[in-house]
Chains A and B, each alone.
Chain A
């Protein structure tokens, strides 16, 4: 595909060696965690590199029966999916307006949204905690989801507005002639056509909420409400010496994102780097 470079390439073998070395560095820790999660404690300590002597699912069953890890997985799943839903809908609505309508202060509003990309979420933790206190936002999924939705909106609007602008105008013009109203134009034409961008952003916002820690740490105090990240930390603190158990917990907590990533790799990579590459 890139004929132009081939002749100038460094030695193929050197290239592959470097690439394979980095592949090893990337994959081995994950592989190590996976095989360790299938060992018993003593098997792991006596046979740290090798495959498990006998595949042990006890580490996993213990997580479910004793640590009730499914509660945390469930909580995270709930928070992340609701976040995605709300963000996609209200984000797409705003993007639609910014991409397709002309009005006063439009430029200002776009810039206003863009500023949000610059604000590090960690730096507003204290005021968020303060707001949480006054609106009963501690131990409340509603408040937490509202925060996740908000923190994702600027980048979402930035990417999706750009995408919507590129949708050919002919389709909607035809629809308008057919008597389509603004609302149905959005739902029936724009939303389906924007699906590629929306689904990428949906996945990113799912990842964001699934992996988030500091806000959950500040807002969620009740154990029964904790997310998988918090559950993982509790578990590690409690079972410091239980290495295989911790490995199993790591595997469970990365599984959903891993599966989604393996299904949709290229789109996710594109979505995550879009902003930077454009610059």
Chain B
């Protein structure tokens, strides 16, 4: 080997030592002099364009200022990755100190294994805090676990889903807001004739398609379907094929554009915001994004609820929505760390935090807010939909005890959208997942 190599290697080694030493310094954060210093690992699931993200950051900044002894180790990633993160952290028993989640089947095993802190005590110690929540908020389906008593997540927001539509594009196509499924199909056809993509959907992110599937299923069987499926009273093949079929119909009509399964959530929103797509079935969370200055359709966005099926009028007001994100704490927390984590939790779920999020039109609050806060009319329509719903529920699998069901439902929904599965096969795969994990 040449001499120069020797030289290079020795230089490399010096660099290596140097960086090693520097990095050591970087890692040393245990300062014994100040015992009360607390570090919290705080994990959330927002994409950076999410209207909630900016508010969350502001709340965190304020919290840091008010609590200089607390260092926040901020871990945020987009929802699809966050779901995986959550599950791997449960599997490895390394859950963050305080983290968002959606309750339900995903955390069932972790709750059962007592990895999440039971929060009743937190409420009982602070009755003022307990008193601000809406009635029934703690009984939300995603917080109720089969055979397990107690509260394992503090409600943070309620959600509901509906259609955003571009008024200009609707006018151009000469269509009105659809009330029933058949009208919706008609709208899709007419929009397509004008050359726009009727409906933006980010089929690459499974939850986008699954929200649609679940909303459709509730319009056909009511929200009790989730419970019946979780208790294995009914099978997926007997109850959900039709909801998948409707997605097939839309897909084959070209409602979602050419390659919906390669579109991710941010692109989906981009398509709608730039006027390339006329409709977007999405959560109330994004009203302020569509009405923001970066949006090309500002002021042109309307809302309509998921159309109902004229053959099933009894489920006209069965709505996808309800308690969604909750804040949970790691059950290992003790002492000052625990106190700090509870404080942070209250910063988000308490009155002040909730007001901040509401002002930004980012959430449907979980607390009774009596002040007059102006909410965008668009957001208000979502709020009203949830308030007036005859019944509502979140994800179809939220009462399930099998942790993989939500993921599976999302996978088969994407598979269906991507023409890999037929509606029957999609439903069969759901039943097979149950069968395999018996």
Contact = CB atoms under 8 A, between A and B. Distances in A.
Contact of B88 (A133, A199, A218, A267): A218
Interface string A77-118: 110011011000000000000000000000000000000000
Contacts of A239: 48
B264 A240 contact: yes
B193 interface: no
B433 interface: no
Contact of B1 (A138, A233, A237, A267): A267
Contacts of B96: 221
Contacts of B264: 240
A174 interface: no
B95 to A, nearest CB: 9
A223 B73 contact: yes
B77 interface: yes
Contacts, number: 80
A92 to B, nearest CB: 14
A226 B267 CA distance: 27
Nearest to A129: B92
Contacts of A267: 1, 5
Contacts of A233: 81
A150 interface: no
A84 B267 contact: no
A264 B267 CA distance: 42
Interface residues of A, number: 35
A138 B73 CA distance: 16
Interface stretch (B19-27, B123-131, B247-255, B338-346): B19-27
A257 interface: no
B407 interface: no
Contacts of A55: none
A209 B19 CA distance: 16
A224 interface: yes
B16 A138 contact: no
Contacts of B92: 129, 132-133, 138, 218, 221
B1, B47, B80 — most chain A CB neighbours (10 Å): B1
Nearest to A217: B88
A241 B23 CA distance: 33
Interface string B288-322: 00000000000000000000000000000000000
A238 B47 contact: yes
B201 to A, nearest CB: 15
B1 A199 contact: yes
A238 B19 contact: no
Given A78-B19, A240-B267, A267-B1, A221 B9 contact: no
Contacts of B17: 81
A159 B27 CA distance: 34
Given A77-B23, A81-B19, A264-B5, A223 B75 contact: yes
A199 B5 CA distance: 9
A-B pairs with lowest CB-CB distance, top 10: A196-B1, A78-B23, A81-B16, A223-B75, A199-B9, A138-B94, A237-B81, A221-B94, A240-B264, A240-B266
